C-alpha cells in the first residue's frame, strides 16, 4: 500500500484509528463539560487531511466536529450549559484544507455558538511553537492535540513536551511503527536515528525482534523520557507483524483513565489494541468479555505486600492497563470467598463491596484499606 493511497482511501486500520479518537473525545469532552472549572476546550488537528476520503470514510476532522456537535445539541435539549469548543484544522496541502472547508460548510457541522473554527496551511514545524505558546496562555480551559503525520520525520519528543508543559493539554500521536521497525531491521535512516536519539543514545536502544516488541520498547522509552506524564499506547494490527500505534500523553490521571476506558470500548477482551482478525472472523459476532485472569493474580500479589488503600488501588489499576470496574469485580470475588479484609480509617469493617475505586474517590482521598487475609 503506497502512502498516496492511504491519504486518499480510508483503510480499515485507519478507520480504527479514528474510532479510538472519537471514542476518547466522547468520554473526555462530556466530563470536561460538567466541570465548573472549564469554560473552553481547544482542539488542534495538525495533519487534518480533507475530512472525507475518496471511498467515503470520515477522517479526524469529521470525528472531532461530529462529537462536539452531538455534545452541544444534547446539552441544548437538556437546557444545560455547554462550554466553547474551538477547533484548528491544519494541513500543509492547500487543496486538502480547501476541500475540508467546503465539506464543513455544506454539512453544517459547526456554527458560531459552538465556538471558533479555523483552517490553516502552515508547516507543522512552524505551527507547533505557536500552538505551544497559545496553550500556555489559556485559562479555565483544556487543549487536545491530534498529530497524525504523513510519516514521522518531522516528529520530535521535544514537541510533545512543549505541548504538555502547560499542564492543561493532552496529545494523541499516531506513528507508522510498521515502517519504523522495518527501517530498524534493514538499516536505520537518519530521520529515525534522530528520533530515537532524542529518547535514548542510539547504542542503548534495545533490539526489537518483532514489530510489537518495537512498539513496547518505544512506549517504555516515552515513559522514561516523559516520566512526569502518563503515557499509553493502542496497537493496531493489520497483517502479520504489521503494527501501527497510537500514543497518548497526558499529565492528568483522569485523562489516562478515560483513554483506558476508550481502549476497552474497542478491545473488549484485553483493552490493548485492534487486529483485523478480531473483527473479521466467524467469532467476531460473539459477545466478548474482559480477560482479567492475569490482572487478578497481579491484584492478589499486590494485596499480599500489606495494607493498600483505595487511592493506591486506583493507581495500580490504571498502570496495569485496567479499569476500576475490573478491580471492583476482583475485590468483590475475593471478599465473597472470605479472603479479603477491608477496613475503614477507624479500623472498622466496611459494608460489602465498598471499595471506593474510582477517580471521584481518588480525589476525595483515602477511605479504606484492604489486604489479603492470612490463611
What pLDDT digit, counting tens, does each position of 104-135 carry?
Answer: 999 988 888 999 999 999 999 999 999 999 99
Query: Domain segments of the chain: what residues?
Result: 3-280, 293-372
Please tell me the predicted confidence (pLDDT) of residue 1. 37
The residues near 320 (Cβ < 8 Å, ≥ 6 apart) are 295, 298
| Cα atoms found within 13 Å of the Cα of residue 368, Cβ hemisphere only | 22
pLDDT in tens, 153-182: 889 999 999 999 989 999 999 998 988 887
Alpha carbon separation from 192 to 3, 124, 179, 186, 346 (Å, rounded): 18, 18, 10, 12, 56
Per-residue confidence at 193, pLDDT binned at 50, 70, 90?
Answer: confident
Q: 50-56: long-range contacts at Cβ-Cβ below 8 A with a sequence spacing of 24 or more?
A: 50/91, 50/95, 50/96, 50/97, 50/99, 50/100, 50/103, 51/99, 51/100, 51/103, 51/104, 52/103, 53/8, 53/9, 53/10, 54/8, 54/9, 55/9, 55/10, 56/10
pLDDT in tens, 26-77: 999 999 998 999 999 999 999 999 999 888 889 999 999 999 999 999 988 9
Please tell me the predicted confidence (pLDDT) of residue 281. 47
Mean pLDDT to the nearest integer, 271-287: 62
Q: Are strands 84-90 and 117-120 parallel, antiparallel or unpaired?
A: parallel
* CATH number of this structure's domain 3-280: 3.40.50.150
Please tell me the predicted confidence (pLDDT) of residue 230. 96
Q: What is the value of pTM for the model shown?
A: 0.91
Per-residue confidence at 196, pLDDT binned at 50, 70, 90?
Answer: confident
Per-residue confidence at 304, pLDDT binned at 50, 70, 90?
Answer: very high
pLDDT at 280 over 90: no
H or E element: which one contains 258?
helix 253-266
Looking at the chain, the whole-number percentage of residues with pLDDT higher than 70 is 91
β-sheet with 230-239: strand ranges across: 117-120, 84-90, 40-45, 141-147, 169-175, 242-250, 230-239, 273-275
Please tell me the predicted confidence (pLDDT) of residue 55. 83
- With beta carbons less than 8 A apart as the criterion, state whether 44 and 116 touch: no
Mean pLDDT to the nearest integer, 329-358: 95
Query: In sequence order, what DSSP letters do the residues of 114-159 get, joined into one string?
Result: T--EEEE---HHHHHHHHHHHHHH-SSEEEEEEE--SSSTT--HHH
The answer to which of 37-46, 138-147, 266-275 has the lowest mean pLDDT is 266-275
Please tell me the predicted confidence (pLDDT) of residue 7. 61
The answer to which of 95-109, 265-279, 295-309 has the lowest mean pLDDT is 265-279
Amino acid at each position: 500500500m503506497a502512502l498516496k493511497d492511504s491519504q486518499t482511501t480510508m483503510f480499515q486500520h485507519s478507520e480504527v484509528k479514528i474510532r479510538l479518537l472519537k471514542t476518547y473525545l466522547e468520554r473526555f469532552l462530556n466530563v470536561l463539560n460538567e466541570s465548573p472549572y472549564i469554560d473552553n476546550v481547544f482542539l488542534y488537528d495538525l495533519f487534518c487531511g480533507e475530512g472525507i476520503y475518496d471511498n467515503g470514510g470520515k477522517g479526524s476532522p469529521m470525528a472531532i466536529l461530529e462529537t462536539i456537535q452531538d455534545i452541544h445539541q444534547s446539552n441544548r435539549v437538556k437546557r444545560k450549559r455547554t462550554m466553547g469548543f474551538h477547533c484548528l484544522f491544519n494541513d500543509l496541502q492547500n487543496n486538502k484544507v480547501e476541500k475540508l472547508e467546503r465539506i464543513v460548510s455544506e454539512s453544517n457541522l459547526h456554527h458560531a455558538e459552538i465556538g471558533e473554527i479555523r483552517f490553516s496551511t502552515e508547516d507543522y514545524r512552524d505551527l507547533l511553537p505557536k500552538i505551544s505558546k497559545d496553550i500556555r496562555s489559556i485559562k479555565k480551559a483544556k487543549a487536545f492535540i491530534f498529530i497524525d503525520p504523513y510519516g514521522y520525520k518531522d516528529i520530535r519528543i521535544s514537541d510533545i513536551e512543549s505541548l504538555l508543559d502547560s499542564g492543561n493539554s493532552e496529545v494523541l500521536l499516531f506513528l507508522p511503527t510498521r515502517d519504523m521497525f522495518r527501517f530498524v531491521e534493514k538499516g536505520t535512516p537518519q530521520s529515525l536515528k534522530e528520533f530515537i536519539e532524542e529518547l535514548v543514545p542510539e547504542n542503548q536502544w534495545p533490539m526489537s525482534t518483532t514489530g510489537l516488541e518495537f512498539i513496547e520498547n518505544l512506549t517504555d522509552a516515552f515513559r522514561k523520557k516523559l516520566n512526569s506524564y502518563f503515557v499509553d499506547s493502542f496497537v493496531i494490527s493489520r497483517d502479520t507483524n504489521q503494527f501501527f500505534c497510537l500514543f497518548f500523553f497526558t499529565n492528568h490521571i483522569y485523562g489516562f483513565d478515560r483513554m483506558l476506558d476508550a481502549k476497552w470500548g474497542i478491545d473488549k477482551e484485553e483493552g490493548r489494541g485492534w487486529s483485523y482478525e478480531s473483527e473479521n472472523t466467524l467469532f467476531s459476532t460473539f459477545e466478548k468479555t474482559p480477560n482479567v485472569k492475569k490482572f487478578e493474580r497481579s491484584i492478589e500479589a499486590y494485596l499480599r505486600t500489606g495494607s493498600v488503600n483505595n487511592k493506591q488501588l486506583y493507581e495500580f489499576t490504571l498502570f496495569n492497563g485496567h479499569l476500576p470496574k475490573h478491580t471492583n469485580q476482583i475485590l468483590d470475588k475475593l471478599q465473597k470467598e472470605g479472603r479479603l479484609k477491608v477496613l475503614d480509617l477507624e479500623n472498622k469493617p466496611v459494608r460489602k463491596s465498598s471499595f471506593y475505586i474510582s477517580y471521584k474517590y481518588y480525589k476525595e482521598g483515602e477511605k479504606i484499606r484492604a489486604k489479603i487475609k492470612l490463611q
